């Protein structure tokens, strides 16, 4: 049986991709009780009433995450993975979390385990507003909504801003998780021309009319690692203001700069027309599932209502622990250690690429922060078809096609440099280069 991973009108063969086929088959085909005989199972099946599950149209449009399926393959022992968008566990502040957890349970235990306000824990919302003020944003705590990861922020935005057939604009390429969040609402997704500096302001202006919003990641973008400079941000914000185009600004990586902080946010230039998304996953720990959004006061009530319908509130216990950790400037001491580690590992990957890809028409960019770099394979080499060959050599990456809303570039791929050691980076890039050299080009 052939299973497929559909992506916005395109289909990627799951066998070709090697994306955890056994796991997908278990989900779709079902699994019999291992403790029962085949005769018993057959008898049970005959007696069961037939169930007729009719899926909603939006459910039919939901797709599995290509990246998540790749990660199942990378669980193979010995695999060197440049695939996941996971922060390095070396950066998780375990001791600080332990102390904060003990403090919360000792001093505020019962309240931390109780239901709580949907808006979020007051002191944490205040911290977010104060932190954004340092970056030039004028934000009131009552504009801050604590979310269960910033991914939930995308889901809430989709629910309240997208109708079937609505035009929404995205970068080329863009974050796969955003496409997954938007697609069930049945929008018309329009890709805006982009280059190494981000979305092209002129093309954005041409396509702005009638769009519900443009979704942008200006800092160390996922998947490309690129960053908008000051001139590009000024031009993009001017287009949005003139066209009355709302901006959904996603900034999970903005604190992960190597040598210099990125320019001021787009939201600070278009405050009444922007929803700003942030996350604690990359600067503390993703397992907390803690993020936030900042919305104009006119839009906030509907986002709050969507949040209430989704999960009532983000876990109060987690919020209080993080609020405790953030006291006394902890993040100002902690984040520089993450930057230093990621810069070192990025430099190691760039050096390995320069060394191992010599003589191959393989190009890549040089990010100034974040977790990823973006590369392009030689003519005739398809990243999707290259992946299983690379996995056979114990190295994995993410094919770039998954990140395009339309007209995917099949020669592109994303490499994450933050979870592999320098030794693994050296061995993995060498293995990838060998897989490219052995790829049969017609």
Q: Helix or strand or coil: residue 394?
A: coil
C-beta neighbour count of 438 within 10 angstroms: 11
Place of tokens 């430099």: 347
Q: What is the pLDDT of residues 90-130, one digit of tens each?
A: 999 999 999 999 999 999 999 999 999 999 999 999 999 99
Q: Is 267 in contact with 218 (CB distance < 8 Å)? A: no
Percent of the residues in the chain that have a pLDDT greater than 70, as a whole number: 86
Nearest to 17 by CA among 69, 82, 85: 69
C-beta neighbour count of 359 within 10 angstroms: 8
The residues, ordered by sequence, that sit 6+ positions from 384 with a Cβ below 8 Å of its Cβ are: 12, 16, 17, 399, 401, 410
Give the pLDDT band of residue 63 (cuts 50, 70, 90). confident
Residue 175 CA to residue 403 CA, distance in Å, equals 6
Residue 294 CA to residue 277 CA, distance in Å, equals 7
**Token pair recorded at residue 205:** 């202006």
Taken in order of first residue, the domains within the chain and their CATH numbers are 4-60 (no CATH), 66-91+332-437 (3.90.1150.10), 108-329 (3.40.640.10)
The residues, ordered by sequence, that sit 6+ positions from 166 with a Cβ below 8 Å of its Cβ are: 185, 187, 188, 212
Q: Is 247 in contact with 228 (CB distance < 8 Å)? A: no
Q: Concatenate the DSSP letters of all residues of 217-254 into one string.
A: --SS-TTT-----HHHHHHHHHHHHHHT--EEEE-SST
Q: What is the pLDDT of residues 211-261, one digit of tens each?
A: 999 999 999 999 999 999 999 999 999 999 999 999 999 999 999 999 999
CA torsion angle 185 190 195 197 (round to 10): -50
Q: What is the pLDDT of residues 338-382, one digit of tens each?
A: 999 999 999 999 999 999 999 999 999 999 999 999 999 999 999
Q: Measured between alpha carbons, how far is residue 88 from residues 7, 91, 257, 338, 341 in Å?
A: 28, 6, 15, 9, 9
């Amino acid at each position: 049986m052939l299973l497929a991973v559909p992506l916005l009108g395109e289909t990627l063969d799951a066998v070709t991709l090697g994306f955890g086929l056994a796991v997908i088959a278990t989900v779709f085909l079902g699994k019999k009780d291992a403790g029962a005989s085949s005769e018993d199972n057959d008898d049970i099946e005959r007696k069961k009433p037939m169930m007729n599950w009719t899926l909603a149209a939006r459910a039919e449009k939901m797709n599995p995450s290509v990246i998540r399926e790749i990660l199942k393959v990378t669980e193979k022992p010995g695999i060197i993975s440049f695939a996941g968008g996971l922060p390095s566990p070396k950066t998780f502040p375990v001791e600080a979390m332990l102390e904060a957890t003990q403090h919360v349970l000792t001093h505020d235990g019962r309240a931390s385990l109780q239901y709580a306000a949907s808006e979020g824990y007051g002191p944490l919302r205040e911290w977010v507003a104060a932190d954004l003020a340092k970056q030039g944003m004028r934000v009131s705590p009552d504009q801050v909504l604590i979310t269960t990861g910033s991914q939930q922020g995308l889901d809430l935005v989709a629910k309240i801003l997208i109708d079937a057939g609505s035009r929404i604009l995205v970068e080329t390429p863009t974050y796969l998780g955003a496409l997954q969040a938007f697609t069930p609402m049945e929008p018309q997704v329009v890709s805006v021309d982009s280059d190494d500096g981000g979305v092209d302001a002129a093309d954005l202006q041409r396509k702005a009319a009638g769009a519900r919003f443009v979704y942008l990641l200006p800092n160390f973008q996922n998947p490309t690692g690129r960053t908008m400079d000051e001139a590009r941000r000024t031009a993009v914000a001017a287009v949005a203001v003139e066209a009355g185009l709302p901006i959904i600004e996603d900034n999970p990586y903005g604190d992960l700069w190597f040598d210099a902080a990125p320019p001021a946010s787009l939201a600070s230039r278009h405050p009444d027309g922007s929803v700003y998304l942030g996350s604690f996953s990359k600067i503390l720990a993703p397992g907390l599932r803690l993020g936030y959004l900042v919305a104009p006061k006119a839009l906030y009530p509907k986002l709050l209502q969507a949040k209430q319908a989704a999960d009532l509130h983000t876990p109060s216990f987690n919020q209080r622990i993080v609020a405790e950790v953030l006291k006394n400037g902890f993040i100002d001491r902690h984040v520089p250690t993450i930057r230093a580690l990621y810069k070192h590992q990025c430099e190691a990957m760039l050096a390995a690429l320069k060394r191992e890809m010599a003589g191959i028409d393989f190009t890549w960019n040089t990010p100034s922060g974040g977790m990823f770099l973006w590369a392009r394979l030689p003519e005739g080499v398809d990243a999707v078809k290259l992946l299983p060959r690379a996995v056979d050599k114990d190295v994995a990456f993410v094919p770039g096609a998954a990140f395009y809303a339309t007209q995917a570039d099949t020669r592109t791929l994303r490499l994450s440099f933050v979870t592999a050691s320098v030794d693994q980076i050296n061995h993995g890039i060498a293995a990838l280069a060998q897989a490219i050299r052995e790829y049969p080009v017609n």
